[in-house]
Amino acid sequence: MPKLVKDGQLVQDPWQLVDAEATLESLPEGKIIVPLALWVEHRDTLWQRLPDIAVWLNGDEEVDPLKEDTEALPLIAVNFPTFTDGRGFSAGRLLRERYNFRGELRAIGYFLRDQMFYLHRCGFSAFTLDDRYEAEEALSALQDFTEYYQGAVVEPLPLFRRRQQG
């Protein structure tokens, strides 16, 4: 069972991830995370299931199709097909900073414990963890650094603006 770390705590995951091949007819009951393409195609129908529906996308997909939906969606997940694909980091910042998404931003797929600190700074608040990671280890990874030079979602002010205040 994959673990979920959310807002710095290990929690039970109430959501069910629906894979990319899913159709409108095959969707299960309950809280589900559907692929972006399906959401875009059946937006009006799926909208009815709010707040028990969420969307996931791959890092290489544009986030723009969600720009009208960020207020309504409770959760958006970004999938990392492989940990070296850094597009999801930009996707996270765009969702948070440009489209003001305030819900749960979840990293799914293949990423490393060593990237969680960066992901967190790019706005990710939840991480579906590989079995091999202990939750404690993952939680400590979020604290790899406690100070940073440039602004991002977590601490929008670059250090130079904070240095001046201090």
Partner 1 sequence: MYVYDEYDHKILSQRVAQFRGQMQRYLEGKLTDEEFLPLRLQNGLYIQRVAPMLRIAVPYGMLNSAQLRKLAHITREYDKGYCHVTTRQNIQLHWPTLEDVPDILAELATVQMHSIQTSGNCIRNTTTDQFAGVAPDEIVDPRPYCEIIRQWSTFHPEFAFLPRKFKIAVNAASEDRAAVLVHDIGVEIVKNDAGDLGYRIIVGGGLGRTPVIGSVIREFLPEKHLLTYLEAILRIYNRYGRRDNKFRARIKILVRAMGPEVFAEKVEEEWAHLKDGPATLTPEEIERAKSFFTSPPYKTLDPLAAESVVQEQAAQEPDFARWLSRNVRQHKVAGYAAVTLSLKRPGVAPGDLTDRQLELLADLADRYSFGEIRTTHEQNMVLADVEKTALYELWLELKPAGLATPNIGTITDIIACPGGDYCSLANAKSIPVAEDIQRHFSDLDYVYDLGNLELNISGCMNACGHHHVGHIGILGVDKKGEEFYQIQLGGRQGNNASLATVLGPSFGQDEVTSVIQKIVDVYVENRVEGEEFIDTFDRLGIEPFKERVYAKAS
Give the whole-angstrom CA distance, residue 147 versus residue 138. 18
Place of tokens 């710095």: 8
In the complex, what is the shortest distance from the CB of residue 27 to partner 1, in angstroms, rounded to a whole number? 30
Q: What are 98's two structure tokens? A: 């440009």
Select 47 or 110, whichever has its Cβ closest to partner 1: 110
**Smallest distance, Å, CB 88 to partner 1?**
9
Residues that bind partner 1 (CB under 8 A): 83-87, 89-90, 93, 98, 112, 114-115, 117-119, 121-122, 132, 144-152, 156-161, 163-164
Closest approach of Cβ 159 to partner 1, in Å? 6
Residue (27 or 108) nearer to partner 1, CB: 108
Q: CB nearer to partner 1: give 43 or 161.
A: 161
CA–CA gap between residue 69 and residue 145 (Å, rounded): 33
Q: Give 23-41 as a DSSP string.
A: -TTTPPSSSEEEEHHHHHH
Nearest CB to partner 1, comparing residues 13 and 130: 130
Nearer to partner 1, 106 or 121 (CB): 121
Residue 106 host element (H or E): strand 104-109
β-strand pairing of 16-17 with 9-11: unpaired
| Cβ within 8 Å of residue 13, ≥6 positions away | 2, 4, 128
| Minimum CB distance to partner 1, residue 108 (Å) | 16
CB of 25 to partner 1, least distance (A): 34
